[in-house]
Amino acid sequence: MSKTVPIKKNECIEIEFEDLTHDGAGVAKLDGYPIFVQGALPGEKAEIKIVKVNKGYGVARLMQLLERSHFRVDIAKEDRHKYGGCQLQHLNYEGQLKFKENQVRQVLTRIGKLNDIIVHPVLGMEHPWEYRNKAQVPVGEKDGKLISGFFKPRTHEIVNTNESVIQLPEVNDAIQTVKEICSELGVKAYNEETHKGDLRHIMARYGKQTGELMVVIITRTKDFPQKNKLIEEIVAHLPKIKSIVHNINSKRTNVILGEQTKVLWGNEFIYDYIGDVKFAISALSFYQVNPAQTKVLYDKTLEYAGLTGDETVIDAYCGIGTISLFLAQKARKVYGVEIVPEAIEDAKRNAQLNRITNVEFAVGKAETVIPKWDEEGVNADVLVVDPPRKGCDEALLETIITMKPKKVVYVSCNPATLARDLRILEDGGYQTLEVQPVDMFPQTTHVECVSLIVRK
């Protein structure tokens, strides 16, 4: 007989929280029935109002805290707009690192059935604020003026904000300055419903080590009023500007960037360093948004690779060559493969920029290119994977199992797909020795991991 649901919609109850979900919501249970509440923390008691009832779970709103967690942080109401995208803003940093370590442990056990792996404490930041070197913000209109910020959760309503606590001050300043200049010049914001207006998004990228700034203006139209005056004003107001780029997105879509990009002023690239390696960053380049923690992540990758100078390394999902060029400093030869042709062009350019000659890059699917290299006699001692959130393609995992490299280093931005893929590798003759979580995105629920995997 099916269990009856113990709550009703709009009912108010008092309850204690025992856990957090992967997206940072508090979890309470009533007779074994889970109730999810944004903003609640484990160990807290609260009065909640039920807003949604399903057969398997309920969702509620936090009405009043009755007992607080000592990990809780209070944020003044007037400052809350600065915390867009910060799901863990109410949890102090010690609590955030514990949450992320626990999250990694739980998914490795639940999804990967991996109970005996060493999971190290999360490597966090000394100053877990103002770290993002890139922002792309939607633009709208209110009372005849341009507004920009972030979308309210599950809506397309823009919350207007002049700064974000997780973006570098230079990025906040660039976005705000460009918005104000566009507003004064009468540039019209794009309207999603009518598909009219010009300005859709403003993007800013900043090289923390070089002090170089890029602004990208994303419009619906190929041209927009006062373009030359806009360039002149941006150059006058932003002394660190090195590049102004125009991206055209004429489609009715939620995708931010369109297919046409042209430089309006300055250079096509700005530059930045991760460690000693220099990178050229275009408007479209994938480049990690937290270079300080990227260095921590890549140092751990290099440590797990254990290179002595004699190894051949394959870097699957190599992107613009960030990990490949790090590995090349210690390996005999590195081969990188990536499906995006523009990323491989960036990777080759970055190799030349750093005078690194022991790397070779190819465009294609890793699971197609790597077996071809194998046939040509490229025997990888170490294979590094850094896939997107969906994890490794199953065909690539089968390729790894068939090729039998001695060691695999798996860099992951999603613990759930990491756990799934580790299970496949374990069943194929590999053993996961240890996992090191790294906090690349403080104040959010995301966590990256580096895993060391060896052939049994």
Catalytic residues: 413
- For residue 250, the SS3 value is coil
Contact at 8 Å (CB) between 284 and 257? Answer: yes
**Beta carbons within 10 angstroms of residue 428's beta carbon:** 15
| Token code pair at residue 98 | 């514990």
Residue 148 CB contacts under 8 Å (≥ 6 apart), including other chains: 137, 138, 139, 140, 158, 160, 161, 175, 179, 202
| Token code pair at residue 304 | 């797990």
- CA atoms of 297 and 338, how far apart (whole Å): 20
Q: Sign of dihedral through CA atoms 281, 282, 286, 288?
A: positive
Contact at 8 Å (CB) between 278 and 209? Answer: no
Amino acid, single-letter form, for residue 290: N
Q: Are strands 33-37 and 212-219 parallel, antiparallel or unpaired?
A: unpaired
- CA atoms of 8 and 267, how far apart (whole Å): 60
Q: How far is CA 308 from the centre of its chain?
A: 31
Kindly list the distances between the CA atom of residue 240 and the CA atoms of 129, 168, 216, 274, in Å, as whole numbers in the listed order: 21, 14, 14, 20
Question: Which of 131, 118, 70 minimizes the C-alpha distance to 441?
Answer: 131
Length of the chain: 456
Residue 79 CB contacts under 8 Å (≥ 6 apart), including other chains: none
| Token code pair at residue 216 | 């990208």
- CA atoms of 232 and 61, how far apart (whole Å): 48
H or E stretch at 370: helix 366-375
**Beta carbons within 10 angstroms of residue 290's beta carbon:** 24
**Angle between helix 415-427 and helix 93-110 axes, rounded to 10 deg:** 30
Contact at 8 Å (CB) between 203 and 283? Answer: yes
- CA atoms of 419 and 105, how far apart (whole Å): 10
Tokens 């969702």 correspond to: 59
